Amino acid sequence: MMKADVVIVGAGHGGAQAAIALRGNGFAGTIAMIGREPEPPYERPPLSKEYFAREKTFDRLYIRPPQFWAEKQIDLHLGVEVTAVDPAAKVLTLSTGESCTYGTLVWAAGGDPRKLTCPGADLAGVHAVRTRADCDQLMGEIDGGVRNIVVIGGGYIGLEAAAVLTKLGCKVTLLEALPRVLARVAGPELSAFYEADHRAHGVDLRTGVAVDSLVGEGRVTGVKLGDGSVVPADAVIVGIGIVPAVGPLLASGAEGGNGVAVDDHCRTSLPDIYAIGDCAAFACDYAEGAVMRVESVQNANDQATCVAKAICGQPARYHAFPWFWSNQYDLRLQTAGLSVGYDQTVVRGSVADRAFSVVYLKGGRMIAIDCVNMVKDYVQGRKLVEAGVSPDVEKLADASVPLKELMPA
């Protein structure tokens, strides 16, 4: 039977950072990390960006060199999944049939790509972009001549994939069920800009369309829409979000639903079990206490550090500031804060020149900012959002006024 003082389930950003932070904070006990993929911890965002575009080789994606984990006496158990949790006995059941006992458990299992439920969803040629294996399989098909690709989902993953595929010379159709892309995370100004930019790069981008089914014999050949028309497809990428990987925890009695519920120290309702990253639902300070999951590297890393400190006897409530980024074509989007519940937007800069910011206000207070090719706005605007400033809107809209000048004395 395996055993460790701290067992970390998940070898993504959160799991890796939890182990790194434990050692960094002086934890001398045994640490084991259990990961479903065969690779040591690696960065996920480049999968749909630089790695997909062949601009980075996989060895450049490692969070730490592979030998780091052994040097820090962190035992990696890769290609293994946790199938059950016994919180009373502090025992995990593994997909290998083995068991693993823990003193403290850190659940950082992330999520699985949400699958289509329509007929044809299980045809060959239907892909997600979540793991190295996902990307390698799709890249192999493109190398083999696949050129006509339909992307289902107009979130960041779908848009990033569409941008890379276009650069690789593929014909791309992007389908979004909602009236605009990025509808859940950004205002209409940013949505309209990205829709126009993708179309200018040759993407056949359609919003407000329903997918009826995928068609083909053995392998996908098209996507049938709600109106009966069929979009030809040599391959399909599905980017419609994730399902948090928390089944074993919920089955063992942990509170939660869309993710596992954690308190302001990232503790679950089960004794000595923490949860972090994409699968953890918490009351967010930067969304007026709304309970949510935040799917970002920043959140995973900061929650991991919070948990490591708690395990090392330095508990502090989780209060990390949320930020995010996305690369598409020559566009660098940087986001600070969460735009949940905004009631006003202000645009700074020139949308036509592809350099502008969208500021989100709620009751006159800055709660978030999206910056497209506007690094200074991001650096200065982030401080205003963190401080909860209520700026003069006229000055806010004037791009010649540096945002730092709107900070109260």
pLDDT digits (tens, 9 = 90+) for 21-73: 999 999 999 999 999 999 999 999 888 888 988 899 999 999 999 999 999 99
Q: Tell me what percent of the residues of the chain surpass a pLDDT of 70.
A: 100
Instruction: List, in order, residues 6 or more apart from 92 with CB less than 8 Å away.
Output: 7, 9, 34, 82, 84, 85, 86, 99, 100, 101, 102, 105
Whether 172 has a pLDDT exceeding 90, the answer reads yes
Q: Which residues of 348-373 are buried (b: 16+ CB within 10 A; e: fewer)?
A: bbebeeebbbbbbbbeebbbbbbbbb
The percent of residues in the chain predicted with pLDDT above 90, rounded, is 97
What was the pLDDT predicted at 23? Answer: 98
pLDDT at 83: 98
Q: What is the arithmetic mean of pLDDT over 246-255?
A: 97
Single-letter residue type at 348: R
Rounded distance, CA 197 to CA 287, Å?
30
pLDDT at 189: 96
Backbone angles phi, psi at 377, to 5 degrees: -60, -40
| pLDDT of 53 | 86
pLDDT for position 22: 98
Average confidence (pLDDT) over 190-196: 97
Residue 88 clears pLDDT 90, i.e. is over it: yes
Instruction: Look at residue 369 in the predicted model and tell me its pLDDT.
Output: 98
Please determine, for residue 249, whether its predicted confidence score (pLDDT) is greater than 90: yes
Q: How confident is the model at residue 254 (pLDDT cuts 50, 70, 90)?
A: very high
Supply the pLDDT for residue 207.
98
What is the reported pLDDT for 48? 85
Average predicted confidence (pLDDT) for the chain: 96
Q: For the residues 309-313, what does the mean pLDDT come to?
A: 97
For residue 104, what pLDDT is reported? 98
pLDDT digits over 329-388, tens only?
A: 999 999 999 999 999 999 999 999 999 999 999 999 999 999 999 999 999 999 999 999
Q: Say which residues have a Cβ less than 8 Å from residue 59's Cβ, sequence separation at least 6.
A: none
Q: Given this model, what pLDDT does residue 52 score?
A: 87
β-strand partners of 106:
8, 274
With CA atoms as reference, report the closest residue to 186 among 210, 164, 153, 155. Answer: 155
With beta carbons less than 8 A apart as the criterion, state whether 351 and 357 touch: no
Please check whether residue 94 is in contact with residue 80, taking contact to mean a CB–CB distance below 8 angstroms. Answer: yes
pTM for the whole structure: 0.94
Residue 1's pLDDT band, with cuts at 50, 70 and 90, is confident
| pLDDT for 127 | 96
